[in-house]
Amino acid sequence: MLVAHDPGSCFEETLSALGSQDYPALTVSIIDAASEDDLSERAGAALPGAFLRKLPANRGFGASANAVLEMVEGADFFLFCHDDVVPDPDALGLMVEEAYRSNASIVSPKIVAYDNNERLLHVGMAADKTGAVVDRVEPGEMDRGQHDAVQDVFVAPGGFTLVRADLFRELGGFDENITALGEDLDLCWKARVVGARVVVAPAARVRHAELTAAGTRAVPPAAGARVRHGWSPRRASRKHSADPSLQALQRRHEMRAALKCYEPWHLVRVIPQMLLLGLGEMAIALVTGHTDRARSVVGAWTWNLARLRDVRRERSALAAKRVLSDHEVRQLQLHGSARLTVYVRRALTHGLHVAHLRELSPLRMAAPDDPGRGQYVTLRAVAWAAAALVVLFGLHQLLTGPMPVVGDFLPLPSWHALLGGFSSGFHDVGMGSTATGPPGAALLGTAGLLMGGSMGLVGTVLVLGCIPVGALGAARLVRPLDSPRARLASGVAYLLIPVAYNAIAGGSLPGLIAYAASPWILSCLARGSGRPPFGTPDRTPLADLLTATLSLGVITAIAGSLAPELLVLPAVLTAGMAAGGLLVHGPVAPEARTEPVAPEARTEPVAPEARTEPVAPEARTEPVAPEARTEPRTAATTARVLAVGVGGTITALVLLAPWSVHLLSGPLRWSLLGAPRVDAATASSWWNLLRLAAGPVGDTPLAWGIPVAAALALLIGSGWRLAWASRMWMAALACLVLAWLGGRGWMGPFAPPEPVMLAGAGAAMCLAIGLGTMSFEADLRAHRFGWRQGGALVATAGLVLGVLPAFGAAGTGRFDLPPSGYRQALSWMDKGPSAKGRVLWLGDPRVLLGTGWPLGSGLAYVLTSHGIPSEAALWPGSSPGPAAAIASDVRLAREGQTVRLGRLVAPYGVRFIVVLRSLAPVIPGLQQPQSYGSEQSLTSALRSQEDLRELAGELGYTVFADPVSAHPIPRARKTHGSSALHLLELWGEGAAWLAVIAGLVALKRARRRSLPSRPTGEIA
Amino acid sequence: MRRFLAVAGVLVVIGAAGVTDALVSRGPVPGSNVQPAIAYAVSSGAAESSAWTCPGASGRSGPDPARVVMTNASGHALDATITAVSSGGERKSAPLSIPAGGQVAVVPATMVQGAWVGATVLIDGGGASVFDVAGSASAYSVAPCASTPSTNWYFAGGSTSGGRSLDLALMDPGDTSAVVDLSFSTGAGTTSPSSLQGIMVPAGALRVIDLGRHLRGKRIIATSVTALSGTIVATETERSGPSGSVGMAMWLGATAPATSWSLPTTTDARGSLVSVDIYNPSRHAARVRLRAAAGLAGLATFARTVPPRSVYRFVTTAEHAIAFDTPFSLEVLSTNGVGVVVERSVSANPAAPVPRYGATSAMPLSANHWIVPAVTPPGDAAWSLTVSDLAGHAVTASVMALDAVAGQALLTPVPGLFRRTVTPSAALSTVDMPGAPIGTQPLEVIASGPVAVALDALPSGSPGVVTMPCFPTAQGFPASSGAG
């Protein structure tokens, strides 16, 4: 039975081959599944003796092939084949022979490529417990006789399958609900259940073009659906978007087969596993942006759940014929999850991008065309694994234990308190504020709700999750670099530079969030520039610019809602990139003549079955004409970068409005957009900043390796590599210079926090490292052996040495974050009578709990209604309100202008004044946290106060009690009129977010539509 | 060209920032001089409040009840509360008002009973100085009170030999009880008697310790007072002769060692014994240089090494390079950065009139603006004012009289003492200006550079027997104070 539907040019060859079979008792029946053209003439010409039956509609291979049940009587075997197979003359005979010899009910031949009969496609197939099918041969594997033994297989792949007629009738034929991709699995599984044997007879060889699986030919539609073919652009239609892709079809049919063929007991065990695997796959797909894969996973469930009645009927029918138990059938299946195994193997050997590749058969691996590639990808996998292990080991104590309350790592209240506080219009900071609540509270509250109210987990995820997010961002940033080595160098460098770990050691949440966000911000700026490799010259429509701008706005808004200090980071990076771009304005050097193509077309390995697809024109490498070698678009590029940077920042401010408006209108806006100034004597030196070592981690000469490695691209790069290296270096230097100037106190009240600026600089430098690697690969060959090669060697050594400090710091298991914070030491403040009364926290901004308001050079203050600061201290706002009076009184005491501070602050209900000297309590023998000494004069001044009583304190902090304070705590009051306004503000904020996200989604869809679509065979 | 520009741009930024970072000072490390060695600076007139602590002297029935004298150099009258505290625990407060430009004296011993009586003065404002005058006509001493308590106090001198008594008064002016440890360096080494560890000084209380009972017959005793909790004020009182009949010295300790000390005026009277005690409380040896400047008589410089945790006595009268009966200013500098504490003691010629013994602490700081109180000691003492130049170059100094007119404080130049040039080798002294209103009315010294100012009682006893450092004002400190 040859099922044909709009057969290709090999149809005649197929018929001829069937006619040439040496098996004498072959009768060929052609089932025309509603082909557009009449096949009778073609069939008649190629195989005059064949029967032809035309079906009114194409309901898939299985349904079409089932016509044999009506058409044929008395046959011993049915041979089901596609219209694009070319069997060897002896293929059928050998298969029949094997059927008798092995007493097999289903026999499959060795299937080879249509255009190369030495390249194997299938020699039978295997399946796991969930029905996921996997090939027994490697993609591109050549036939050297290694699979020439007759074997039992679980699945005889469709295309050319010999089935015993009585078995076929017993099983009721193919499942007609399976239109394509899965009917072979279903038939063979059922055959197994009824005790039949399925074998592969490799002696029989068949060439198969696999037009349907390759997507060259449309898949038969489901009932009522319209078919759309190949190259035409996708139309924006909701109906189209709901029709399944090949991947979706395969998923649903695999699941259907599993649901039908398991006994109830086994089904109960397998379904949860399928669910778990599906959830995991969906999560990974969503994170990596492969929404179609996620939809396929979900669609498989919904499709099958919608057909449960049918499934039950089929199950009953099969159960009546069952011969083998599931346990016996399972013996023939693969252990574990084939899909998961292949994913992990593919990720390790080819990289995550290939692992996430969307393909017809998700378990087909891309053919490596570089003989040495396998070894290299193993080395790359080892490098990534080592880096990840270092990080995990370095954080293992934090992963398994509680997070100490130090710095910005503050305890979070319940999720409903966070959401309630955000929506109530009252912000418990300082003396209480009726300004708009910070969006960060809403974000954390929502996260707490999603995590089942476990706010401790939210805090841990917030802190530690920044590292994988940053690493993911770095991987995304460097993805356009067409060099696995470059991507590896950049990614590993970013994962192991000390920036994030110093932020952990210092309890700096803005530093960690900046580490997470910086590569994403850079990625938006780079893509918005339109310059290769991040953008495509001459193809940067306004939509791309808008996409980059809105993406940057969303990322900055999310990061800025948690740490307002990040709101300036895009502007700084933008300015640096613009300056770097201007530096490299000028004609391109001759050796950089060839511009590489858009990377998204080059880096995706082509699945073997898709090799016949023509390449989209814009994906070809085009040599640049000499007259086009100048950089006529430098000004335009700079303008684009500036537009994205400025636009993104403005978008972020709009998304965060009205909180951002409140932040920018307060008197301390510059202090809050930066950070309270630290004492210049204790700020990091320029050289420490340059090597990104502004903390205990990486404070060794080895840290110089990172900037040394990053310098390579400047020295040997050319073309776009040099241009981007210049941009990245200037972006990094812009961040570092600002951090240095702010630390010196030369920027007035605006002092960008070092950890935030270092994160931006680190991301830029790590991209420069990748560019240096690319320069080594691409530009060095144009030069004779000389200093350039030596420089490359030095840069490589620098990179290796530069990441070593992270290894050392990982030994503590917590990257030097003190084990014990202030919660244990000062928990008494939250209990009993001590809990009534405000607490004034004073200290160096780097050791203070939360983000304080500036008190003077090197000092800041936080005012809490009682006890340890909570998350509200992370977003104090730029207007301290009445709390500013308390600060003035403290300044008086510090300057020796009063000895009655207790009496001065008593009206504000301040019961305790805590001076923090170090990041955490000093516990001899256990922890010696960082301290800066900025508070010593303050402590002396407080001790001079006549009316403050110093309580017995521990090392690292001093507590003064104000016995005079007995006043009720004055609080800001919410007025009635503010509630309605606040609600309006919340609605407006929500609307802005929806508008921007909707805009982004629309722009991305529009971009996808503007690209020529591949012949996916998706149903329209 | 592109590469050149890119590399050059990067290098220029890195180089410029690096050079600037190296050349431009970051300022002092916080906490390096946070504890001023001087504890009697006067706060500005705009201060909200200020407080002074006077550990005092013996009670009413004792040999030398102290008188607390408050001078108001601000432009307005100041309300204050004086609280007398006895060593027996009795406390009593009384309000008072200090007129602008004027002085008020109170004898705390009249308010409470006790073997020892001290006082705290809480002033509603700033710009006022407070000092103690204790003793009798035959033996008295003048010492500033402390404007700030401290956790550490150091005394370089003191003796319990030759019949001398030495008392250490510890007063806790704040609301936090203090626990104090004492350690001593004598000629025989360092000692920390267990009975003098963990001394409890309750909040607002006064404790007096007779060091002679624990350290008998010690020729020289340097003392370190460390408050493990709370803050205190510490003074030492040394009496020479039966009941202090020969002389008494009362002086406030230093709150921190310093690398630079000044004694504006010292005179090696013939037959007297003038010694400068240099105490090194640290663990490192201190290399010090003593520089004596005596105007036209030139300079004499001496280099000495003070071992760790020990005290060195430099006897100026034994140095031939320093002429007798010639006033000279003395600077003590630690050349290797190790802080020391310096005090001077003077034992006059036995033939000289009483008082014949006194001690004073050197001044570790210099300032541009000083308050000189009016001092009315027992007896008919006259005072001389000495202004010594610590700027390293000539400065101009003016002595202004503080007059109270219609409730306001007015500054009037003192004739002959207005815009006088002072050089490092020639201090400004009013010894030869008997008509100058020194010690009889409050004065202010305003200089164009850092100077040190001291009052010396004349002609009672020998010069230097009764000396009182004057009061630098907080706003008059130069940027680098040399403390620590």
Contact with chain B for residue A944, Cβ under 8 A: yes
Taking CA–CA distances from B5, the nearest residue in chain A reads A583
Q: What is the pLDDT of residue A249?
A: 87
State whether residue A685 sits within 8 Å of chain B by CB. yes
B29 contacts A584? CB cut-off 8 A:
no
Q: Does A761 touch chain B (CB under 8 A)?
A: no
Q: Which of B11, B48, B147 to mutate to test the interface with A (most CBs of A within 10 A)?
A: B48
Looking at chain A, the whole-number percentage of residues with pLDDT higher than 90 is 35
Percent of the residues in chain A that have a pLDDT greater than 70, as a whole number: 84
User: A861 Cβ partners below 8 Å, 6+ apart?
Assistant: A840, A841, A842, A848, A852, A853, A855, A883, A886, A887, A890
pLDDT at A238 over 60: no
Separation between Cα atoms, residue A72 and residue A70, nearest integer Å: 6
Residues of chain A neighbouring B24 (CB-CB closer than 8 A): 744
Q: Is B139 helix (H, G, I), strand (E, B) or coil?
A: coil
Omega before A533 within 30 of 0, i.e. cis = yes
A583 contacts on B by Cβ (under 8 Å): 2, 5-6, 9
Give the confidence band of A366 by pLDDT, cuts at 50, 70, 90.
very low
Grouping H, G, I as helix, E, B as strand and the rest as coil, residue B275 is strand
Alpha-carbon distance of A178 to A62, in angstroms, equals: 7
A285-299, A856-870, A883-897, B255-269: range with lowest mean pLDDT:
A285-299
Residues of A with CB below 8 A from B150's CB? 940
Q: Which amino acid is at A853?
A: W
Q: Do A943 and B41 touch (CB under 8 A)?
A: no
A233, pLDDT greater than 50: no
d(CA A495, nearest CA chain B) in Å: 25
Distance CA B129, CA B472 (A): 9
Q: A898 and B48: CB-CB below 8 Å?
A: yes
Helix or strand run (H / E) with residue A249: helix A246-261
Q: Residue A360 pLDDT more than 50?
A: no
Task: Let me know how long chain B is.
Answer: 484
Q: Is the pLDDT of residue B99 over 80?
A: yes
Q: Which chain B residues are closer than 8 Å to A788 by Cβ?
A: none
| Tally of helices (H runs) and strands (E runs) in chain B | 2, 34
Q: Which residues of A touch B27 (CB under 8 A)?
A: 679-681
Least CA distance to A724: which residue of chain B?
Answer: B6
Check whether A873 has a pLDDT greater than 90: no
Is some CB atom of chain B closer than 8 A to the CB atom of A952? Answer: yes
Nearest-CA distance B419 → chain A (Å): 30
Average pLDDT over residues B125-131: 93
Cβ–Cβ below 8 Å for B34 and A680: no
Single out the residue of B13, B127, B117, B203 nearest to residue B411, CA to CA: B127
Q: Which residue of B has its CA nearest to A690?
A: B14
Instruction: Write out residues 583-602 of A within 8 Å (CB-CB) of B.
Output: 583-589
Q: Name which of A477, A468, A485, A457 is nearest A521 in CA terms.
A: A477
Using CB atoms, which residue from B47, B120, B175 is nearest to A949?
Answer: B175
Which residues make Cβ contacts (< 8 Å) with residue A764, sequence separation at least 6?
A518, A522, A573, A576, A728, A729, A731, A732, A735
Please tell me whether residue B128 adopts helix, strand or coil conformation.
Answer: strand
DSSP secondary structure letter of residue A306: T
Distance CA A74, CA B152 (A): 113
Pairing of strands B152-155, B116-123: unpaired
Q: How far is A979 from chain B (nearest CA, A)?
A: 41
Interface size between A and B, measured as CB pairs under 8 A: 155
Q: What is the DSSP string of A537-588?
A: TT---HHHHHHHHHHHHHHHHHHHHH-GGGGGHHHHHHHHHHHHHHHT-SPP
Percentages helix, strand, coil for chain B (3-state, rounded to 5) are 10, 50, 40
Model confidence pLDDT, tens digit, residues A129-183: 999 998 888 878 888 888 889 989 999 998 999 999 999 999 999 999 898 888 9
Q: Alpha-carbon distance A925 to A820, whole Å?
A: 12
Which of A357-366, A381-390, A800-809, A992-1001 is predicted with the least confidence, judged by mean pLDDT?
A357-366
Q: b/e map of B436-470 (b: 16 or more CB within 10 Å)?
A: bbbbebbbbbbbbbbbbbbbbbbebbbbbbbbbbb
Token output for A300: 């498989």
Q: Mapping DSSP to helix (H, G, I), strand (E, B) and coil, where does residue A908 land?
A: helix
CB distance A583–B17 less than 8 Å? no
In the beta sheet, which residues pair with residue A134? Answer: A126
Contact B34 A936 (CB under 8 A): yes
Q: Looking at CA atoms only, how far is residue A624 from chain B in angstroms?
A: 19
Say what angle helices A439-450 and A415-424 make with each other, to 10 degrees: 150
Q: What is the DSSP letter of A914?
A: E
- In 3D space, the residue among A859, A856, A858, A863 whose CA is nearest the CA of residue A840 turns out to be A863
Cα distance from A574 to chain B (closest Cα, Å)?
Answer: 16
The answer to whether A946 contacts B3, with C-beta atoms less than 8 Å apart, is no
| Residue B12 in tokens | 């220029």
Task: Name chain B contacts of A736, Cβ cutoff 8 Å.
Answer: 17
Do the Cβ atoms of B48 and A897 come within 8 Å?
A: yes
Test A740 with B28 for CB contact under 8 angstroms. Answer: no
3-state secondary structure A373-422: HHHHHHHHHHHHHHHHHHHHHHCHHHHHCCCCCECCECCCCCHHHHHHHH
Instruction: Determine the pLDDT at residue B5.
Output: 86
What's the count of helices (H) and strands (E) in chain A, helices before strands?
A: 41, 18
Return the number of other C-beta atoms located less than 10 Å from residue A907's C-beta: 14
CA distance A720 to chain B (A): 11
> Do A946 and B51 count as a contact with CB atoms less than 8 A apart?
yes
- CA-nearest residue to B36 within chain A is A937
Angle among Cα A308, A310, A312 to the nearest 5 degrees reads 70
Q: Are A911 and A834 in contact (CB under 8 A)?
A: yes
pLDDT in tens, B203-257: 999 999 999 999 988 999 999 999 998 899 999 999 877 766 677 899 999 999 9
Strands (E) in B32-89, as ranges, are 50-58, 66-72, 78-86
Of the listed ranges A21-35, A506-520, A578-592, the one predicted with least confidence? A578-592
CB-CB contact of B303 with B294 (8 Å): no
Q: In terms of Cα–Cα distance, which of A130, A146, A162 is closest to A65?
A: A162
CB A433 within 8 A of CB A426: yes
Contacts of A933 in chain B (CB under 8 A): 29-32
Between residues 959 and 1018 of chain A, which touch chain B (CB distance below 8 Å)?
963
Longest dimension (CA), chain B: 93
- Residue B307 per-residue DSSP state: -
Average model confidence (pLDDT) across chain A: 82
Angle between helices A373-394 and A484-496 (to 10 degrees): 10
User: Residue A718 and residue B35: Cβ atoms within 8 Å?
Assistant: no
Q: A723 CB near a chain B CB, below 8 Å?
A: yes
Distance separating alpha carbons of residues A806 and A700, to the nearest angstrom? 11
Residue A80 pLDDT: 94
- C-alpha B158/C-alpha B142 separation (Å) is 16
Instruction: List the one residue out of A752, A562, A524 whose CA is nearest residue A648.
Output: A524
Secondary structure letter of residue B418 according to DSSP: S
Most B CBs within 10 Å, among A897, A905, A917, to test the B interface = A897
Contact call for A948 and B174, based on CB within 8 A: yes
The mean per-residue pLDDT over the stretch A518-546 comes to 82
- CA-CA-CA-CA torsion sign (B149, B154, B156, B157): positive
Q: Which two tokens stand for residue B340?
A: 């020391």
- Residue A439 confidence (pLDDT): 87
- Longest CA–CA span in chain A (Å) reads 116
Report the residue of B176, B229, B475 to disrupt the A interface, i.e. the one with the largest count of A CBs within 10 Å: B176
Nearest-10 Cα torsion for B425, B430, B431, B433 = 130
- And the tokens for A188? 């063979």
Q: Rounded to an integer, what distance in angstroms lies between the CA atom of residue A191 and that of residue A932? A: 76
Mutate to test the interface with B, among A931, A943, A948 (most CBs of B within 10 A): A943
Cβ <8 Å between B122 and A899: yes
Nearest-Cα distance to chain A for B373, in Å, is 21
Token output for A564: 């307002």
Structural domains of chain A, ranges and CATH numbers in brackets: 2-212+244-344 (3.90.550.10), 822-961 (no CATH)
- Cβ-defined contact of B126 to A897 (cutoff 8 Å): yes
CA atoms of B374 and B362, how far apart (whole Å): 20
ipTM over 0.90: no
| Cα nearest neighbour of A691 on chain B | B14
**Residue A41 forms beta bridges with which residues?**
none
Pick from B26, B30, B122: CB nearest A936: B30
Which pair of tokens denotes residue A99? 């059927």
Nearest to B29 among A579, A681, A898 (CB): A681
Percent helix, strand and coil across chain A, each to the nearest 5: 50, 10, 35
Arithmetic mean of pLDDT, A198-211: 92
| Confidence category of residue A365, pLDDT binned at 50, 70, 90 | very low
For residues A778 and A483, give the distance between their C-alpha atoms in angstroms, rounded to a whole number: 10
Two tokens at B381?
Answer: 């003492």
- Number of other CB atoms surrounding residue B194 within 10 Å: 6
Pick from B7, B24, B122: which is nearest to A946 by CB?
B122
Within 10 angstroms of residue A226's Cβ, the number of other Cβ atoms is 10
The strand pair at B341-347 and B357-361 is best described as: antiparallel
Closest-CA residue in chain A for B231?
A943
pLDDT of residue A611: 40
Average pLDDT over residues A394-422: 87
Residue A90 corresponds to which tokens in the numbers above?
């002896």
Nearest to B205 by CA among B68, B55, B59: B55
Contact A686 B51 (CB under 8 A): no
Q: Please provide the distance, in angstroms rounded to a whole number, between the alpha carbons at the two ends of chain B.
A: 55
